Structure 1
């Protein structure tokens, strides 16, 4: 079974999708940065369960051969972006950053006490919020603290999310000297009216200058984030933004569909529903992005990522090494993820865990000498096999029955008889192909790959309440 030729999507017009097909899949669903998804975590999983997972890793055979990934959540932002669904704290009091770093050091120490010192790290990601809320001295202190506790592998991927409004070329040079080799700039849209509607004003020239400085400094990869479906966006305005992106030519592009969930995310209540483009316009924007970006030489990595052919993400896609984690698509193997900071989500062994979501609770638990784990999940055998299938669909676009059967000791066609019946209907719609060897997502199916993956989501099939998720198109 061969992988789909997704670059042909660039030539596939929107009208190939029938109104019935669009209506059928105009539904909400997970993005599958994990399976089970974070909304399935339970408070019955707590600190003791997480500690057990750390201990099991420490006692594992040849643990040094399996590097760690680190995620650090910096929650602070100076200004509120109305579309944002991240866990953030809006403040102009920068002294709060120093206090937060002191508590992060305590959390690291507690983790290392159970993991063992000097564990190898091959991937680091600073997210938020805005990590560049921290000043240069604070970033130096943070990286020095991490290097005292972990061994950073040469050639690893060390990335940081950057708010273009908070950095200069000089600050980017500091990040390079600290060992960061990948930057991700939050752009969202270049149109001034859209920027005003979402309360994020940043001139295009500012972004162009910063990307040019990043290249001069030798960063391995520069990513920009875009969002389609924002208020005041139209297919025409977004086409202009795409043309500017082609001129900018970042190494990677993360393209997300805006999920309007004002009942869950208070900042989104400042966005008026009547200002949002309809689903049909969002589909045109997605199709335009595929046409324009792939026409400019970008590889369509997956549902929300594009990369230049020589970028490590595109190479991993070609070689079948692509993975997916809480930061999206990744070149790193499916390794244990230690998550640090308020609300951060980690993955150790066959467990997921999430920290408490407020600073008050985070500080209080660390003051007591306790790890700030609020909830999580120990994966069952069924969770593990479904996770394998869902991640294969999301990353490679195909599943081989035999590989799943050998890894999980089951008869695929018997175990997933109901799911295969559903996929037969999707095959009739042109979204997948099925044969005796496995499942293949088609060119058309890549528009709906989240819907294909949802077929194997046991939790979602049992609970049809999907208001907490974004639309899959």
Structure 2
């Protein structure tokens, strides 16, 4: 009987379909955001009385890192001067008040996330101050009814820090690990002994965190199938609830710090496929559900349950269990999604600071979705999250004939159907097990903007 890994991993198809493409944390993607966006569109969407029954999701971007990891493509500020956090925190508090004034104060917050950078760059008192300001202006739901998550660097977090985070209300955490191999860690400038990770994970369990996720990366310098297998086996023993195993995107023309790594030490395309195969073999063999793309979860985790119940969503933090929240972004470079509007804050600290100091929202870019955008966003979300399109649902919601409206797209997918990636019937498109690893490629067929933008701005799909 074929295993999940054997069904998923077909080197010939993976090599043939590998291409640059979006991860679809939004549609349209951020490349379609424009600088002449009118913030009034955001304000109107925020004030829409029809959205009063929609929960809110809050994202806080904390850009500071004590040291820089060479592979990283995040918007960050590397500094050892902790004093830099104070003026940023003061501005975040003012932004919280500005944003809260735009929304119905009775709308509940069912999701909150601190990302970065390294959120635990903040001191314990500063973290408490930020959470207190959030609770002052927004209605945060009780622990059992909401997801309050934070990205944690085990090099920055002691068991006392973990206990402090739990006391503040966080109930989920995502740990950056990438690889346990010392040679790889040295090459990427991230020295993180195993004990640091195990200490944080144990503290999270001891203090009652609901879910623990871990990020790994394959395709890094010096990685081999054997070395990464050891990392995977160790991680399986640690048993996090979720695992994200990302493909490293080497784009030194965009991310200058990547130039610090020797490209000759990067795995070849063939080696990357072998690494990917081992990831799928080890994790599915250990009982993790393959959600799609690069995400795995235990069957008991909310992520796996949400996919089974067809309530899984995508947002700027990846897969999400909270459907249809309006997302408010705080801090430099953060992105919000309110109604049919995406809005992004100034990317760099000076521009962000200037706007907040002037008593204004820091929004500088964005896009208001068209009717076609809304339709295609729904299609792409269903493909990426629920791995199927039920045509009758779209026909009822949008008043169209799906097979006619998307006839060119369905025709383009016939080749993928012959390759066993999808099945197409009179009323349904379904992503097959072999297509889960290539779900971005399938979603790209429905993206009307791809021919108008530079694909090399995106990472490889495999």
Normalised TM-score (structure 1): 0.95
Q: Which of 265, 268, 279 is the aligned partner of 2:269?
A: 279
Aligned position for 2:11: 17
Q: Paired residue for 2:73, among 68, 85, 88?
A: 85
Matches of residues 317-328 of structure 1 in structure 2 within 5 Å? 317-328=307-318
Alignment of structure 1 residues 345-424 onto 2, 5 Å: 345-424=335-414
| Residues 283-318 of structure 1: CA deviation (Å, up to 9, x unaligned) | 222221111111111111221211111111111122
Shift of 1:131: 0.2
The correspondence for 2:59, drawn from 43, 65, 71, is 71
Q: Residue in 2 aligned with 1:268?
A: 258
SS at match of 2:113: strand
Q: Does 1:188 align with 2:178?
A: yes
2: CA distance between counterparts of 1:82 and 1:17?
29
Q: Is the 8 A contact 2:8 2:436 kept in 1?
A: no
Taking the aligned partners of 2:276 and 2:172, their CA distance within structure 1 comes to: 25
Partner of 1:456: 446
Whether the 8 Å CA contact 1:427–1:433 is kept in 2: the answer is yes
* Cα separation, 2, equivalents of 1:8 and 1:449: 19
Higher alpha-carbon deviation: 209-218 or 277-286? 277-286
Distance 1:13 1:341 in 2: 39
Instruction: Judge conservation of contact 2:158–2:199 (CA < 8 Å) in 1.
Output: no
CA shift in 2, pair 1:13/1:392, >3 Å: closer
- Alignment deviations for residues 394-438 of structure 1 (CA, whole Å, 9 cap, x no partner): 111110111111111112122111111101111112111111011
Equivalence for 1:119: 107
Any idea what the Cα deviations from partners look like across 1:315-337, whole Å, max 9, x if unmatched? 11221111111101111112100
Q: Residue 151 of structure 2 corresponds to which residue in structure 1? A: 161
Greater mean alpha carbon deviation, residues 41-50 or residues 435-444: 41-50
Which residues of structure 2 form unaligned runs of 5+?
Answer: none
For 1:66 and 1:447, the matched residues in 2 are separated by: 32
Conservation of the 8 A alpha-carbon contact between 1:47 and 1:372: no
What SS does the aligned partner of 1:114 have? Answer: coil
CA distance change for structure 1 residues 243 and 22 in 2, over 3 Å: closer, same or farther?
A: same
Local SS of the residue matching 2:139: strand
2:219 is matched with 229
* Shift of residue 118, structure 1, vs aligned partner: 4.4
Q: Report SS of the residue matched to 2:180.
A: coil
Residues of 2 paired with 1:174 and 1:321: CA distance? 31
**Which of the residues 134, 157, 168 maps onto 1:146?**
134
TM-superposed deviation, 1:250: 0.7
**Offset, 1:98:** 1.4
Q: Does 1:295 align with 2:290?
A: no
Deviation at 1:9, TM superposition (A): 2.3
1:47 maps to 2:39: yes
Is the 8 Å Cα contact of residues 353 and 373 (structure 1) preserved in structure 2?
A: yes
1:464 to partner: Cα distance: 5.9
**Quick one: distance in 2 between partners of 1:47 and 1:273?**
42
Question: Structure 1 stretches (4+) deviating beyond 6 angstroms?
Answer: none
Matched, 1:209 2:199: yes
The CA distance in 1 between the partners of 2:95 and 2:311, in whole Å, is 32
1:164 counterpart SS class: coil
Q: 1: distance between equivalents of 2:26 and 2:265?
A: 32
**Distance across 2 between alignment mates of 1:362 and 1:181:** 29
TM-score by length of structure 2 reads: 0.97
The alpha carbon displacement at 1:13 in A equals 7.3
Partner of 2:50: 60
Deviation at 1:60, TM superposition (A): 2.0
* Counterpart pick for 2:461 among 441, 449, 472: 472
CA contact under 8 A between 1:76 and 1:128: conserved in structure 2?
A: yes
RMSD across aligned C-alpha pairs, in angstroms?
A: 1.4
Moved more, 272-281 or 366-375: 272-281
The answer on whether the counterparts of 1:353 and 1:377 sit within 8 Å (CA) in structure 2 is yes
Which of 10, 18, 27 pairs up with 1:26? 18
Check conservation: 2:8, 2:435, Cα contact below 8 A: no
2:356·2:362 contact (CA, 8 Å) conserved in 1?
A: yes
CA separation in 1, counterparts of 2:181 and 2:253? 27
Other structure's SS at 1:426 match? helix
1:78 to partner: Cα distance: 0.6
**Do 1:46 and 1:373's aligned partners in 2 also have CA atoms closer than 8 Å?**
no
Match for residue 427 of structure 1? 417
CA distance in structure 1 between the partners assigned to 2:433 and 2:211 by the alignment: 27
Q: Which of 194, 197, 208 is the aligned partner of 2:187?
A: 197
